[in-house]
Amino acid sequence: MADAVAVTTIQDGEKDLVVQLTSLSDGTGEADVVKIDASALGSDNNGNACDGVAIQEIWAQVNGFTSGVILKNAADTATVAMAIDPGWTYQDFSSVGGLRQYGTNKTGDVTLSTVGGGSAATSGDSYMVLIRATKHYA
């Protein structure tokens, strides 16, 4: 069996993106799973493809996963976008323009990994992460 995970796109507009990430773990956990695929997002009104996002706000509830979850910017060497500890959190990065993606040969994608003490997950661990981001184009 595998973790029961979902990525629900709430809004994919020309400028704004809102996605909800959820997981109910069977103890398997996740490692660098693509949660926001920039190439799959809608293009702008001129037909330009989205090449990345800047995370503006995050609402998250992490239960279990003793060390939380990590959002990363996909690149040749992935870079940490944000580590989310167990419990409830709200973070607003909009006053500084959001969390921009960086890294060598970045893809524009955002990945997620579950992290924990001796193992990444225990059966029954869960998370819900809501991300509001702005889209950028090539």
pLDDT digit string (tens) for 76-91?
999 999 999 999 999 9
Q: What is the pLDDT at residue 119? A: 62
Q: What is the pLDDT at residue 22? A: 98
The CA–CA distances, whole Å, from 87 to 80, 90, 113, 135 equal 19, 10, 16, 28
Q: What is the pLDDT at residue 1? A: 62
Question: Domain residues of the chain, as ranges?
Answer: 4-137
pLDDT in tens, 6-16: 999 999 999 99
Q: What is the pLDDT at residue 138? A: 84
Is domain 4-137 in CATH 1.25.40, yes or no?
Answer: no
**CA dist., res. 130 & res. 7, Å (int):** 10
**Residues of the chain falling short of pLDDT 50:** none
Our CA angle for 88, 91, 94, nearest 5°, is: 160
